[in-house]
Amino acid sequence: MTKFDLIKSIWKRIRLWHYLAILFIGTILFLLINDDIGGKETLDLSCYAELYASPFVVNQSSKLNKNLTLNINLEGDAIKLSYHYGVGGRNIASIVYHGESLAFEVGSMTYKLRVDTASVEMDLLQTELPGPIHDAVDKSRGVLVKEGVIDFDMQIVDFDTVNDFTLVKFRPSGSLWACRSNSTPLIKGLASVF
């Protein structure tokens, strides 16, 4: 039996479901490779912090039942950062920044970001902005009025795809956030394989 006869006999044994399986696997591989090479970079993180009172204050519960949430959404070059201040599980006030990602430094895992707009949302029952949001508004307003943009760095300090943990540091503020990914488990599973 020659090589040609061997190939011809194998070719005759291939059924329709073989073609469909090859087509399906090829499509999946094409989509994964195309997304990695030519697709838009995406990062979707949620970071959460509970606020506690100083241990030196007398007659006060240590837990204030207040929290800060930071949502980081990066798709392609567009960035959206949303800070939310909540009390008792209810969102009281938010500041949302929109801008662009200028560059990504692979060696330090650092995004160079530029924000050019910010908007404030507040619960109608609130008479004034809560402290953390008020401070962010004052700082942002000052820089945006003076410079027109806010430039800063966001560094991925550490990440663990198995335990869904990402540690993010902002510079020049130095704030550090522990975050979780908002992507679906299937995508996270595929990402960990590749």
CA atoms of 94 and 133, how far apart (whole Å): 7
Full-prediction pTM beyond 0.75? no
Whether residue 66 has pLDDT greater than 70 = yes
Chain segment 31-60, per-residue pLDDT in tens:
766 654 445 678 899 998 877 666 666 555
- Digit-coded pLDDT (tens) for 1-31: 677 777 777 667 776 666 778 888 888 877 7
Domain ranges of the chain: 42-193
- Residue 53 has what pLDDT? 64
- The pLDDT assigned to 37 comes to 47
| Whether the predicted pLDDT of 173 surpasses 70 | yes
pLDDT in tens, 123-153: 888 888 888 788 888 888 888 888 999 999 9
Q: Where is pLDDT greater, at 88 or 77?
A: 77
Per-residue confidence (pLDDT) for residue 30, from 0 to 100: 77
